[in-house]
């Protein structure tokens, strides 16, 4: 059977031919026709069987045959890892290069602005990981209301990585009427429950027994102590004719350590795991695919979905806890019918994991004896209170993480101290306050004799020796003068004896304005003469109640006429002129 027999359109057939595809794989033969017809598909197949093409080709053909205005998101492919998302996006671009459809990929670990710009331009097909899709959907950058096709890839891996709750939340954002393509290598109960909720009368497609290894892969097992695994790995890479190798470790710390040891042994190696930035992971994977790096050391984050052409060897540096993970790991080699080799190391603490793997496979893994570093430690590690083996790999990883935190805290503390020291150097030193400048002495006027004093007070002050000013009590609003001070008594006496202009007495308001103006004009022309203030008349409104009673004359309002009282205006005593005579 050929791809043309499956009913694919000429643009897609031409793109597949350019990729070197000649005959469809079993999963493609069984999944493409019902997917083209719009049916829901449940695909159970191991990794490396061509699942991506099985759902990508039908999606491209269905979207191209039905145009939509505004370029909304019409197909969504949800995948667990960033590397797999990038790989699926590359496949869509390759298979649809002759179609006017636009695809994009969004995932975490990198800035979202470039991804948002792509979404704003319009996207027909969106490949996403659950975390970043949820973030952009909550920010109103993703609209799934016009979705037509939904693909959930590696559903069991979603469950293993804890994304099952995120997947259920995303399903609530999708339209009820849509085509669903569901792919998973295994079918645990949680995944089966999701299938029952999501798919409607699906076409079930199964290729090979679930979780079975690829038969063409040559599997070998080496018993070796934990401390000699890196030596044996470097020895095998040099003696087995390894073109390129993917090495799986248990922990992130172990991946870094193994990659570093291989580099010291003269091999080109790189590590990828969750603590690496997305840019570093993409760069390491690109270098490995291009042949610039011979060995790629990874945790199980890379166990699924990585399509590396002509991968010759897979090494299990540490055996996995889950037996199915072993199948996914070795499935990285032997893809598309090509041969490959899978080599596993086992120490005394990993025998329980080996039993579970052999039980899943249904047969033992062939053991290689006679290598330079046979296993000599036969006593397993001690167990904890719950009876579980204390794995040295995990303990070493925890100790390394603790040491990294300590170094990071010390570096942050040193950086803060350095920043404070620089700030202290830049800040100007506090200068001592300058003493107040002495007031310049008044210049003496040259001339005959002395200047005449204007007042008696000034004259007395001029001849009186200066005495220290006596402190006076300070009140809230003003300073109360001392009534017995000599200057106050003299000033008050001078005011009483001096002749001054009599203060105007408040009179009744004239009956008309003409009379008022005449009186003001007469007052200005006439010279002021001291007159006793007339006694005020009795108030007629009181009805004569104050008759015969002596009334106090009305005191003039001094402030109203602009004149100050005795405590505010300067002394009115006639000046006495002092001379040397």
* pLDDT per residue as tens digits for the range 516-525: 777 887 877 7
- pLDDT at residue 462 above 60? no
* Residue range 373-417, pLDDT digits in tens: 999 888 777 766 766 666 666 666 667 777 777 888 888 888 888
Q: For residue 249, what pLDDT band results from cuts at 50, 70 and 90?
A: very high
Query: CA 385, CA 369: separation in Å to the nearest integer?
Result: 35
How high does pLDDT run on average in the chain? 78
Decide if 246 contacts 314 (C-beta within 8 A): yes
Strand bridging mode 179-184 / 125-128:
unpaired
What is the model's pLDDT at position 306? 66
- Supply angle C-alpha 168, 169, 172, rounded to 5: 90
Domains of the chain by residue range = 4-207, 217-381
- pLDDT at residue 89 above 60? yes
Q: For residue 342, what pLDDT band results from cuts at 50, 70 and 90?
A: very high
What is the model's pLDDT at position 417? 84
What is the model's pLDDT at position 115? 94
What is the model's pLDDT at position 73? 95
What is the model's pLDDT at position 543? 46
Q: For residue 512, what pLDDT band results from cuts at 50, 70 and 90?
A: low
Q: For residue 490, what pLDDT band results from cuts at 50, 70 and 90?
A: confident
What is the model's pLDDT at position 393? 67
Choose among 136, 27, 127: nearest CA to 75.
Answer: 127
Share of the chain above pLDDT 70, in %: 70
Q: Cα torsion for 275, 278, 281, 285, to the nearest 10°?
A: 160
- pLDDT at residue 314 above 80? yes
Name which of 9-23, 195-209, 230-244, 552-566 the model is least confident about: 552-566
- pLDDT at residue 541 above 50? no
- pLDDT at residue 577 above 50? no
Highest mean pLDDT among 67-71, 193-197, 229-233 belongs to 229-233
User: Distance from CA of residue 488 to its chain's centroid?
Assistant: 76
* Residue range 374-385, pLDDT digits in tens: 998 887 777 667
Query: CA 252, CA 271: separation in Å to the nearest integer?
Result: 9
Exposed / middle / buried, residue 421 (Cβ in 10 Å: 0-12, 13-18, 19+): exposed
Query: CA 414, CA 294: separation in Å to the nearest integer?
Result: 39
> Looking at the chain, how many residues does it have?
581
Decide if 491 contacts 566 (C-beta within 8 A): yes
Q: How far is CA 173 from CA 76, 266, 281, in A?
A: 12, 52, 31
What is the model's pLDDT at position 489? 76
CB neighbours of residue 367 within 10 Å: 12
Rounded to two decimals, what is the model's pTM? 0.57
For 18-34, letters b (16+ CB in 10 Å) and e give eeebeebbebbbbbbbb
- Supply angle C-alpha 461, 463, 465, rounded to 5: 80
Q: Which two tokens stand for residue 237?
A: 């890479």
* Residue range 196-238, pLDDT digits in tens: 888 988 999 987 644 445 567 889 999 999 999 999 999 999 9
* Residue range 158-177, pLDDT digits in tens: 887 788 888 999 999 999 99
User: What topology is assigned to 217-381 in CATH?
Assistant: Rossmann fold (3.40.50)
Residue 273 is classified by DSSP as -
Architecture of the domain defined by 4-207: 3-Layer(aba) Sandwich (3.40)
What is the model's pLDDT at position 391? 67
- pLDDT at residue 185 above 90? no
With residue 87 as reference, give the H or E element that holds it: helix 82-95
Q: What is the end-to-end Cα distance of the chain in Å, rounded?
A: 145
Is the pLDDT higher at 235 or at 474? 235
With residue 494 as reference, give the H or E element that holds it: helix 486-497
What is the model's pLDDT at position 10? 93
Q: For residue 526, what pLDDT band results from cuts at 50, 70 and 90?
A: low
Name which of 131-135, 351-355, 573-577 the model is least confident about: 573-577
What is the model's pLDDT at position 532? 55
User: Distance from CA of residue 434 to its chain's centroid?
Assistant: 50
For 279-290, letters b (16+ CB in 10 Å) and e give eebbebbeebbe
Give yes or no on whether 4-207 and 217-381 have one common fold.
yes
* Residue tagged 């719950």 (tokens): 386
Q: How far is CA 528 from CA 340, 515, 519, 540, in A?
A: 131, 20, 14, 31
61-65: long-range contacts, CB 8 A cutoff, minimum separation 24: 61/8, 61/9, 61/12, 61/36, 62/36, 62/38, 62/148, 62/149, 62/179, 63/101, 63/124, 63/125, 63/148, 63/149, 64/9, 64/11, 64/99, 64/100, 64/101, 65/9
Choose among 60, 122, 47: nearest CA to 95.
Answer: 60
What is the model's pLDDT at position 457? 56
Alpha helix (H) ranges present in 200-350? 229-239, 252-264, 278-290, 323-330
């Amino acid at each position: 059977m050929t791809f043309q027999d499956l009913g694919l359109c000429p643009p897609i057939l031409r793109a597949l031919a350019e990729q070197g595809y000649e005959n469809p794989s079993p999963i493609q033969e069984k999944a493409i026709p019902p997917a083209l017809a719009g049916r829901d598909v449940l695909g159970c197949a191991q990794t490396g069987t061509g699942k991506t093409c099985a759902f990508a080709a039908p999606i491209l053909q269905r979207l191209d045959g039905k145009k939509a205005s505004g370029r909304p998101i019409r197909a969504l492919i949800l995948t667990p890892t960033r590397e797999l998302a990038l790989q699926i996006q590359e496949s869509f671009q390759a298979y649809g290069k002759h179609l006017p459809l636009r695809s994009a990929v969004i995932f975490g670990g990198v800035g979202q602005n470039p991804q948002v710009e792509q979404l704003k331009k319009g996207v027909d097909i969106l490949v996403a990981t659950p975390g970043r899709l949820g973030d952009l959907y909550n920010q109103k950058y993703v609209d799934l209301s016009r979705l037509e096709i939904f693909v959930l890839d590696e559903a069991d891996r979603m469950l293993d990585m804890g994304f099952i709750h995120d997947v259920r939340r995303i399903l609530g954002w999708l339209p009820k009427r849509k085509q669903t393509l569901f792919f998973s290598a295994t079918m645990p109960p949680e995944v089966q429950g999701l299938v029952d909720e999501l798919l409607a009368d699906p076409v079930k497609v199964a290729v090979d027994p679930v979780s079975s290894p690829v038969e063409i892969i040559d599997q070998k097992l080496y018993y070796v102590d934990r401390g000699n695994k890196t030596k044996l790995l470097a020895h095998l890479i040099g003696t087995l004719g390894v073109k390129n190798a993917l090495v799986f470790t248990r922990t992130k710390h172990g991946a870094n350590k193994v990659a570093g040891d291989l580099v010291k042994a003269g091999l080109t190696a790189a590590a990828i795991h969750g603590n690496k930035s997305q840019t570093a992971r993409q760069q390491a994977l690109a270098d490995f695919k291009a042949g610039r790096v011979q060995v790629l050391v990874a945790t199980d984050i890379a166990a699924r979905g990585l399509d590396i052409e002509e991968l010759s060897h897979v090494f299990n540096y540490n055996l996995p806890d889950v037996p199915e993970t072993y199948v996914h790991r070795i499935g990285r080699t032997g893809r598309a019918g090509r041969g490959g080799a899978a080599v596993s190391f086992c120490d005394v603490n990993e025998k329980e994991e080996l039993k579970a793997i052999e039980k899943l496979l249904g047969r033992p893994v062939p053991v290689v004896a006679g290598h330079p570093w046979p296993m000599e430690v036969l006593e397993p590690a001690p167990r904890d209170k719950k009876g579980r083996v204390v794995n040295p790999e995990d303990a070493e990883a925890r100790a390394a993480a603790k040491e990294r935190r300590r170094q990071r805290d010390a570096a942050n503390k040193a950086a803060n101290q350095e920043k404070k020291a620089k700030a202290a150097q830049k800040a100007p030193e506090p200068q001592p306050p300058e003493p107040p400048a002495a007031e310049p002495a008044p210049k003496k006027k040259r001339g005959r004799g002395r200047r005449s004093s204007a007042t008696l007070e000034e004259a007395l002050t001029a001849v009186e020796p200066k005495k220290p000013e006596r402190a006076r009590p300070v009140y809230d609003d003003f300073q109360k003068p001392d009534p017995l001070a000599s200057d106050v008594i003299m000033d008050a006496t001078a005011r009483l004896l001096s002749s001054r202009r009599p203060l105007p007495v408040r009179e009744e308001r004239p009956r008309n304005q003409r009379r008022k103006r005449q009186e003001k004009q007469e007052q200005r022309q006439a010279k002021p003469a001291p007159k006793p203030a007339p006694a005020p008349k009795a108030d007629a409104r009181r009805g004569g109640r104050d008759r015969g009673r002596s009334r106090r004359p009305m005191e003039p309002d001094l402030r109203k006429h602009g004149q100050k009282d005795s405590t505010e205006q300067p002394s009115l005593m006639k000046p006495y002129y002092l001379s040397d005579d």
